[in-house]
């Protein structure tokens, strides 16, 4: 059966982030531009194949440096997208994009040196490359993202739990994706979407962490372990009974997460109703009678 694609600007999709379509799967934030950065290292080495041993070795060093920089850039863009997609987040501990720019500058400087450019000129090439790299891809997030009026200790606890939960979800997704089964991918993506709805709820109100912690740790660890074992078994056996059992497990877990999210929303509504009632009573004592 054909499936409708829903992207960032598709009709009916009001998510706006472009990172998490309606089915829960996330678009790779690295994009074409970062993948294109893996091309220059190959060109640098090919251009110096017949240039003599010294220049060839220098070009290989340049190619390796540029490749490492391209990889760091791709990971940095993914980390930045995850940072912007969350309400509470800690800044990346390792500034991948900044180091990627530095490595790009060093790599181009080495490539220029392999082409016979003097040291000063090669350094200028490298400096210009690093500056242009930062202009094109920007810096890493340099500050933590926090909620106003919420205890910093609580926000740090939420950030740690959410980081761990995202790691479990990514591990699940990667192991199932290795099976190359679109239906299973979609089923896991639906479960991931239900978990992320609970995560967003906890991020909006860190007080909900106590009630959700069991779901975001114990349940997700079990789901990840079950996914790993299923993927290893199903890759060789293609056992439909095992597949049905795994899909049933995902359905049960998804229902549990949805119920917990609904329970938290109901608690919030109850708290709001109580606050409104208290406010109305106080206004009436002061002689103000709202309609």
Distance separating alpha carbons of residues 25 and 7, to the nearest angstrom:
11
190: tokens are: 């639906």
Contact 69, 37 (CB under 8 A): yes
Give, in degrees to the nearest 5, the angle at Cα 233 between 230 and 235: 100
Place of tokens 């003599």: 52
Per residue of the chain (291 residues), what is the pLDDT tens digit? Answer: 344 334 433 333 433 334 455 444 555 666 778 888 999 999 999 988 888 888 899 999 999 999 999 999 999 998 888 888 777 677 888 899 999 999 999 999 999 999 889 999 999 999 999 999 999 999 988 887 766 655 666 777 888 888 889 899 999 999 999 999 999 999 999 999 999 888 888 877 777 777 788 888 888 888 899 999 999 999 888 889 999 999 999 988 888 888 888 877 665 455 444 455 555 555 555 555 555
Question: Which one, of 161, 137, 12, 119, lies nearest residue 79 by Cα?
Answer: 137
Task: Write down the residue that tokens 């760091």 correspond to.
Answer: 72
Instruction: Encode burial over 209-247: b for 16+ CB neighbours within 10 A, e otherwise.
Output: beebeebbeebbeebbebbeebbeebeeeeeeeebeebb
């Amino acid at each position: 059966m054909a499936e409708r694609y829903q992207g960032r600007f598709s009709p009916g999709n009001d998510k706006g982030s472009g990172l998490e379509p309606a089915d829960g799967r996330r678009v790779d934030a690295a994009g074409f531009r970062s993948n294109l950065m893996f091309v220059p290292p190959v060109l640098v080495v090919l251009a110096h194949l017949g240039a003599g041993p010294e220049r060839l070795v220098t070009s290989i060093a340049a190619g390796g440096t540029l490749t490492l920089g391209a990889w760091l850039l791709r990971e940095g863009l993914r980390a930045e997208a995850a940072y912007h997609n969350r309400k509470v987040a800690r800044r990346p501990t390792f500034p991948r994009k900044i180091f990627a720019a530095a490595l790009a500058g060093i790599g181009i400087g080495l490539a220029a040196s392999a082409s016979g450019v003097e040291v000063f000129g090669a350094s200028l090439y490298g400096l210009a490359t690093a500056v242009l790299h930062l202009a094109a891809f920007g810096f890493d997030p340099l500050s933590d993202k926090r909620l106003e009026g919420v205890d910093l200790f609580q926000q740090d606890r939420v950030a740690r739990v959410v980081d761990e939960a995202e790691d479990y979800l990514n591990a699940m997704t990667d192991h199932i994706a290795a099976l190359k089964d679109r239906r299973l991918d979609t089923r896991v993506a639906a479960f991931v979407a239900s978990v992320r709805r609970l995560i967003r709820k906890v991020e909006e109100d860190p007080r909900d962490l106590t009630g959700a912690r069991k779901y975001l740790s114990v349940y997700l660890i079990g789901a990840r372990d079950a996914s790993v074992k299923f993927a290893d078994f199903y890759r060789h056996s293609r056992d439909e009974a095992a597949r049905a059992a795994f899909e049933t497990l995902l359905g049960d877990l998804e229902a549990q997460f949805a119920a917990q999210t609904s329970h938290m929303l109901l608690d919030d509504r109850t708290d709001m109703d109580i606050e409104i009632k208290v406010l109305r009573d106080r206004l009436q004592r002061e002689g103000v009678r709202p309609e």
